[in-house]
Amino acid sequence: MQSREVTIQTGGKRGVYDLTDVCAAFLQDVARDQDGLLHVFVQHATAGLVVMELGSGSEQDLMEALDRLLPRDDRWTHRHGPRGHGADHLVSLLAAPSLSVPVLQGRMALGTWQSLALVEPNEEKASRQVRLSFVQA
């Protein structure tokens, strides 16, 4: 298995951050023309990962949906940090902290409109650590 940790700069802004190019560059370095699996893992309790279409407004839709499902108020038992931070700890119920993607001949086998993205609900974090691993078939 080949593995690398990358830092994703979020600048302390909530949102959806495209990881597709970072993952493709990692595979170019380690997978060459091999088949296997790319495993992506965000090493934080208040962030998640998704496979989705980006650039069409879906990012804003996702964040608004999260805010409707997990309101950013003081209803949460977990209350440290800014108002609504308790909701951040539940994002992993909807955007898991890990995902795997098939790799064929060194490239992610994504659909035409699919991208890999980090979901960042927490404005306290300026960066996130993401672990990329390639397991050869």
* Euclidean distance between the first and the last CA atom of the chain, given in angstroms as a whole number: 10
- Quickly list H helices, 1-137: 20-30, 58-69, 85-88
pLDDT digits (tens, 9 = 90+) for 51-95: 999 999 999 999 999 999 999 998 999 878 888 889 999 999 999
pLDDT of residue 3: 98
pLDDT of residue 39: 98
| 3-state SS assignment for residue 78 | coil
Q: Is the pLDDT of residue 98 over 90?
A: yes
CATH of 2-136, one of 4.10.80.400, 2.60.40.1180, 2.60.120.460, 2.40.50.140: 2.60.120.460
pLDDT of residue 89: 93
DSSP assignment letter at 103: E
pLDDT digits (tens, 9 = 90+) for 115-137: 999 999 998 889 999 999 999 98
| 3-state SS assignment for residue 91 | helix
Distance separating alpha carbons of residues 57 and 64, to the nearest angstrom = 11
Cα dihedral across residues 78, 80, 84, 88: positive or negative: negative
pLDDT of residue 81: 80
Under the phi-then-psi rule, with left for phi > 0, alpha for psi from -120 to 50, and beta for the rest, what region is 45?
Answer: alpha
Average pLDDT over residues 2-19: 97
Give the confidence band of 112 by pLDDT, cuts at 50, 70, 90. Answer: very high
pLDDT of residue 80: 82
Q: Is the pLDDT of residue 103 over 90?
A: yes
Count of Cβ atoms closer than 10 Å to residue 79 Cβ: 12
pLDDT of residue 126: 95
Average pLDDT over residues 17-24: 98
